[in-house]
């Protein structure tokens, strides 16, 4: 029988469509196989958490070096940025006036000594020609002269300004020949052997920190990230927590102490503090096992009857690929790991089980990719 052209065309269309339908069915089957539901359980392990805070870096000792006497700057044997040792001469004020005053007071001491010695000799003769009260009077005069001499000697020493501790000299505020007055600032001196790093911690984090470490502040590991993004070579420790909160910000200042043997850190620098804490026996799950609805986070828990139920969880801390769970899950719960979007509350499911260690390793690999 001879077919019409229309029938031939339709038959051809049907023949061509059959392979396409078969291909679509195969793709759906492969897609279904690719997204099997995988169930795992939470891990219980120690987790190191990290909080980052902006910080200000300060020298443990940073003081103004001031003039202790009036006069003219005669000599400045130091340079800006120079490292000095305790006792090194930093500034020399013209000492002529103070030297003359000391010489005069020393002469007064010598005179008072002679008068006291003569009076004592006359009193100690067989027949005393002076009274005991006169001896006491010259004794007092000698003591006063000695005190004045010591004062003059101290004033002369004030003309030489010495470094009170090892440190680095800042900008010179007065130059040689400058007329200065007592208490004029000459420069600043920084002891950079240990740096004090200050950062503000919110009240909730403060309560967590105190609850975990108690009085053992040194148990928390503190790292410092500098302005160029590089970590400082030496780890620090919590040195102090201030006594009160800032009512406007709700923060309390912490201080971390960092050894600075290479003197890399300087007073006034900024950076970021990384405060590491260890959470003991924390319940952790991969982030991809959760979903969020109306600012709350949920997981699907598989019951003994293989029916999934939606359950809210509270996240205590998060890292790149895991959540530390504060409440809502235990280590015995089974949760949907892969296929969260394929199930709904009350559905009975078929699934594959993956050990929590393998689930965590898969999560790390997925994050790296």
Q: Residue 218: its pLDDT value, please?
A: 52
Number of residues that this document lists for the chain: 369
Residue 250 lies in a domain: yes
Q: Rounded to whole angstroms, how far apart are CA atoms 88 and 65?
A: 13
Tokens standing for residue 43:
């891990």
Q: 75 is in which domain, residue-wise?
A: 68-94+159-183
Residue 30 lies in a domain: no
Residue 297 lies in a domain: yes
Residue 16 lies in a domain: no
Q: Residue 260 sits in a domain of what CATH number?
A: 2.40.30.170
Asked which of 158, 175, 210 is the last residue of a domain, the reply is: 158
Residue 133 lies in a domain: yes
Q: Residue 165 sits in a domain of what CATH number?
A: 2.40.50.100
Contact 141, 135 (CB under 8 A): no
Asked which of 229, 256, 278 is the last residue of a domain, the reply is: 278
Question: Measuring CA to CA, how many Å separate 362 from each of 52, 288, 324?
Answer: 27, 11, 17
Positive or negative: CA dihedral 31, 34, 35, 37:
positive
Tokens standing for residue 210:
């105190």
Q: Are residues 170 and 89 both part of a single domain?
A: yes
Residue 14 lies in a domain: no
Q: Residue 35: its pLDDT value, please?
A: 55
Contact 359, 337 (CB under 8 A): yes
The list of the chain residues with pLDDT below 70 reads 1-35, 213-219, 362-369
- Candidates 319, 322, 317, 320; CA nearest to 290 is 322
Q: Residue 21: its pLDDT value, please?
A: 44
Contact 189, 65 (CB under 8 A): yes
Q: Are residues 79 and 146 both part of a single domain?
A: no
Asked which of 144, 168, 183 is the last residue of a domain, the reply is: 183
Into how many domains does the chain fold?
Answer: 4
Q: Rounded to whole angstroms, how far apart are CA atoms 332 and 351?
A: 17
Question: Measuring CA to CA, how many Å separate 286 from each of 49, 106, 293, 316, 337?
Answer: 15, 84, 18, 14, 8
Q: Residue 369: its pLDDT value, please?
A: 43
Residue 195 lies in a domain: yes
Residue 13 lies in a domain: no
């Amino acid at each position: 029988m001879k077919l019409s052209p229309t029938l031939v065309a339709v038959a051809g269309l049907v023949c061509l469509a059959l392979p396409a339908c078969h291909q679509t069915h195969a793709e759906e089957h492969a897609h279904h196989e690719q997204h099997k539901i995988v169930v795992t359980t939470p891990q219980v392990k120690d987790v190191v958490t990290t909080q980052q805070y902006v910080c200000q870096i300060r020298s443990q000792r940073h003081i103004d070096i001031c003039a202790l006497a009036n006069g003219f700057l005669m000599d400045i044997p130091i340079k800006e940025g120079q490292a000095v040792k305790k006792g090194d001469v930093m500034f020399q004020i013209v000492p002529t006036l103070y030297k003359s005053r000391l010489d005069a007071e020393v002469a007064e001491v010598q005179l008072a000594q002679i008068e006291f010695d003569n009076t004592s000799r006359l009193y100690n003769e067989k027949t005393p020609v002076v009274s005991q009260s006169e001896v006491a009077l010259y004794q007092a005069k000698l003591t006063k002269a000695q005190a004045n001499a010591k004062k003059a000697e101290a004033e002369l020493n004030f003309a030489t300004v010495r470094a009170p501790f090892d440190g680095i000299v800042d900008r010179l505020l007065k130059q040689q020949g400058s007329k200065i007055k007592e208490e004029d600032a000459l420069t600043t001196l920084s002891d950079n052997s240990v740096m004090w790093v200050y950062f503000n911690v919110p009240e909730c984090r403060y309560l967590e920190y105190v609850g975990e470490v108690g009085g053992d502040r040194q148990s928390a590991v503190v790292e410092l990230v500098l302005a160029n993004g590089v970590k400082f070579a030496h780890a620090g420790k919590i040195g102090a927590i201030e006594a009160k909160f800032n009512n406007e910000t709700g923060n309390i200042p912490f201080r971390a102490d960092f050894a600075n043997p290479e003197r890399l850190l300087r007073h006034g620098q900024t950076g970021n503090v990384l405060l590491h804490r260890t959470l003991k026996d924390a319940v952790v799950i991969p982030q991809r096992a959760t979903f969020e609805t109306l600012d709350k986070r949920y997981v699907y828990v598989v019951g003994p009857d293989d029916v999934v139920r939606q359950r809210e969880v509270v996240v205590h801390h998060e890292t790149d690929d895991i959540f530390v769970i504060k409440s809502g899950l235990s280590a015995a719960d089974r949760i949907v790991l892969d296929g969260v979007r394929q199930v709904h509350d009350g559905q009975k499911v078929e699934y594959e089980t993956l050990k929590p260690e393998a689930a965590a390793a898969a999560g790390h690999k997925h994050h790296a990719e």
